[in-house]
Amino acid sequence: MINNKTVLILGAGASMPYGFPSGQGIVDSICDVTSDFKNMVSHSAEVSERDVSDFIAALRDAESESIDVFLGNNPEFEKVGKAAIAATLLPLEHEGELKSKWRSIRLGKNISGLGGHWYKYLSNLLQANTSFEEFDQNKLSIITFNYDRSLEHYLFTTLQASFRKKRPEECAEKLNAIKIIHMYGQLGYLPWQKPDPHIPFGFGPNIGYPEKVGTIRQAMLTIKTMSDDFDKNDSDTKCAKELLVQAGRVYLLGFGYHPFNLKILGIESLGNKDIRGTSLGLSFQRKVRLGELGVFNLGWDRERMNPRYLYDEDVYEFLHQHAILD
């Protein structure tokens, strides 16, 4: 059980071990599409294929590192952009990436994984020395900049399997005590979650073209994009800031530290807290910039050539070596 108020902030790197692309990877996937993909996005967004092609050409020419940043700068592409995001990510929500792949890795088969299975590590921590009745006393909150629902799906299915006599509604009630905020929205809500639209985890194996288009349209309703007043008028942003103020420990996992995302969370003003994170794959220029800005009192570690309290490790290793989750 996690007894001390802790917030995990997730970037794209936190979902990469489970088959999802980096922020740059989403952009590259959309830019390298087939005619079938364009057709699906066109029907889902209810725009012409020429509009889709114009969006892809602009995204390609912009060389942006983030689809969120691009759509924030080009709001005329918001609708087709949301459809492209959903069409890219929904097929990647795959059960095999969450459990069976990792069993194969543990059994020593020739299947590679990017980083360790940190979902399993977190799930076990939440359930350790905890009865079902006490599970909702875990003092954990999660702020994610990812659209996929893989973490909450994993936590729900493992909780169900651990307490098989409990009804799905009871498991949902317990898990909902762990606040999970998707800063840029998500691919709809899972069937056990209260809000609509309800979208099952990933595309089913037998889902046809019309059903895919309908699912993408539903997912578009719960995807958000950047705007100048995003941090002022968004209820999730306000809730995220409140959670960060209340927390004693804040861990940034697979996070890119984009200035806009740092700004809307207000991390630099949190003061004296245990704030640490991963920096694996982060450019040296961005590391230097973080150190110069003194973001959340990082400073610069000359020996490691890294900001203090940021570590060039994957999420699993970071949680094992540097995070206190008790």
**Taking Cα atoms as reference points, which of 106, 148, 108 lies closest to residue 19?**
148
321 within domain boundaries: yes
On whether the CB atoms of residues 251 and 276 are closer than 8 A, the answer is: yes
Q: When comparing pLDDT for 283 and 157, which is higher? A: 157
Taking each helix axis from N to C end, the angle separating 209-220 and 78-89, rounded to the nearest 10 degrees, works out to 120
208 within domain boundaries: no
Max avg pLDDT among 155-159, 191-195, 309-313? 155-159
318 within domain boundaries: yes
177 within domain boundaries: yes
**Taking Cα atoms as reference points, which of 185, 201, 319, 299 lies closest to residue 254?**
319
CA 28 remoteness from chain centre:
18
pLDDT reading at 127 higher than 90: yes
Percent pLDDT > 70 in the chain is: 95
268 within domain boundaries: yes
103 within domain boundaries: no
Mind listing the pLDDT tens digit for each residue in 159-209? Answer: 999 999 999 999 999 999 999 999 999 999 999 998 888 999 988 777 899
**Distance in angstroms (rounded) separating the CA atoms of residues 118 and 56:** 34
Out of 150-164, 175-189, 284-298, pick the least confident. Answer: 284-298
**Distance in angstroms (rounded) separating the CA atoms of residues 295 and 286:** 12
pLDDT reading at 113 higher than 60: no
The CATH number of the domain holding residue 317 is 3.40.50
Domain count within the chain:
1
Q: Which domain holds residue 285?
A: 1-19+115-183+227-326
HEC profile for 109-125?
A: CCCCCCCCCHHHHHHHH
On whether the CB atoms of residues 252 and 262 are closer than 8 A, the answer is: no
67 within domain boundaries: no
> Within 13 A of 203's CA, how many CA atoms are on the CB side?
19
Max avg pLDDT among 91-105, 131-145, 263-277? 131-145
291 within domain boundaries: yes
pLDDT band at 30 (very low <50, low <70, confident <90, very high): very high
The tokens 């840029």 sit on which residue? Answer: 184
